[in-house]
């Protein structure tokens, strides 16, 4: 059962003696009641992005500072003219389908990152690049199932803010990492509304995320790269 906006606010104001330090079931910092919706709370985009170093074509700018009224071209994606000429001569080397940009989920070298600050006046993201972003808001959730999804207006600008990873856990504490992709070159701004957080009640015995020794992301702040996905020896039944 999904919580309404007023119920979210109520659960933020009531201390629960069964939680750590008798905290409320829902904590959102910073909190602005204007961002409280019918059954969700709006979250904002932080000013820091990360990209995986291996996925950035050489000589390419990962973000373009936005100047309203300026006429842009492909040249603006490159940090020097020689790199742009290289792109013109060998476009296949800059195609993200090229296996040279391979990511290995089980290898730490795939998760080396480059930090990017979104300019105060906005930055243009490339459809060629996947960005790790984060919410401004820090949240804690107890006895509820939290999850985030895109706002309608964000979706209608063809900004994808998570790849299957919009689901949280009972006991999760931290900022939310966003996996951002755009369909077109698209401007994003620090502190723009980027997502909505929802809360659902659940049944069954609890297994809080913050008490799970195998959890990877509890307490995360800022955009957090992927943890290594283990390869496990699981015996499969023969047919």
Q: Which residues are catalytic?
A: 179
Residue ranges of E strands in 6-151? 26-29, 41-44, 48-52, 63-65, 113-117, 123-125, 131-141, 145-149
**Rounded CA separation 188/191 (Å):** 9
Cis peptide bond upstream of 30, omega within 30: yes
* SS3 state at 25: coil
**Rounded CA separation 129/50 (Å):** 11
**Rounded CA separation 95/101 (Å):** 9
Output the CA torsion 45→46→52→58 (10° steps).
90
* SS3 state at 72: coil
Using the structure block, give the residue that is written with the tokens 């992005």: 49
Please name which of 92, 87, 72, 103 lies closest in space to residue 184, comparing C-alpha atoms.
72
**Rounded CA separation 63/49 (Å):** 10
């Amino acid at each position: 059962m999904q919580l309404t906006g007023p119920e979210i606010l109520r659960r933020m104001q009531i201390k629960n003696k069964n939680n750590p330090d008798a905290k409320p079931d829902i904590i959102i910092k910073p909190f602005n009641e204007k961002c409280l919706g019918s059954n969700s709370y709006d979250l904002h985009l932080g000013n820091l992005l990360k990209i995986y170093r291996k996925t950035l074509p050489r000589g390419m700018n990962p973000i373009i500072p936005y100047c309203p009224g300026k006429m842009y071209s492909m040249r603006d994606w490159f940090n020097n003219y020689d790199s742009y000429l290289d792109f013109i001569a060998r476009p296949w080397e800059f195609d993200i389908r090229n296996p040279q940009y391979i990511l290995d989920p089980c290898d730490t070298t795939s998760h080396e990152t480059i930090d990017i600050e979104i300019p105060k006046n906005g930055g243009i993201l490339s459809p060629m690049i996947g960005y790790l972003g984060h919410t401004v808001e820090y949240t804690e959730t107890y006895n509820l199932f939290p999850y985030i999804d895109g706002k309608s207006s964000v979706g209608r600008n063809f900004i994808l803010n998570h790849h299957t990873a919009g689901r949280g856990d009972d006991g999760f504490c931290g900022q939310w990492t966003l996996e951002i992709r755009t369909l077109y070159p698209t401007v994003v701004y620090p502190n723009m509304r980027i997502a909505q957080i929802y809360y659902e009640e659940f049944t069954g015995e609890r297994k809080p995320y913050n008490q799970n020794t195998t959890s990877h992301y509890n307490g995360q702040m800022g955009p957090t790269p992927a943890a290594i996905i283990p390869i496990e020896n699981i015996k499969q039944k023969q047919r």
